Amino acid sequence: MTALTIRDVPEDQIQTLKVRAAQAGKSLQAFMQDLIAREASRPTMAEMMERLNRETTADVTTSDVLAALDQGRVGR
């Protein structure tokens, strides 16, 4: 496992993280490891869009959409 050092973190932010760690019943180190793991496992918007583009296909033409709109207007 790699060690990570973050310099120049404002003291108020450290205190907030210490309080949150204590509330979760964890050490600051365990709390930060969980935070990093959660962030690393969450896909970015670009990754989600890429997956969506890769996994979805639509066989709908512009004509299909316009016809559906026209049909909806007739029903009013």
**CA angle in degrees (0–180, nearest 5) for 40-42-47:** 105
Q: Render each residue's pLDDT in the chain as its tens digit; 76 residues.
A: 899 999 999 999 999 999 999 999 999 999 999 999 999 999 999 999 999 888 888 788 899 899 999 998 886 6
C-alpha neighbours within 13 Å on the C-beta side of residue 9 = 10
Tokens 């997956």 -> residue? 51
Average pLDDT, the chain: 93
Alpha helices per DSSP H over 27-61: 28-41, 45-55
> Residue 24 and residue 18: Cα distance in Å, rounded?
10
Q: How far is the C-alpha of 1 from the C-alpha of 37, rounded, in Å?
A: 13
Give the domain ranges of the chain: 11-74
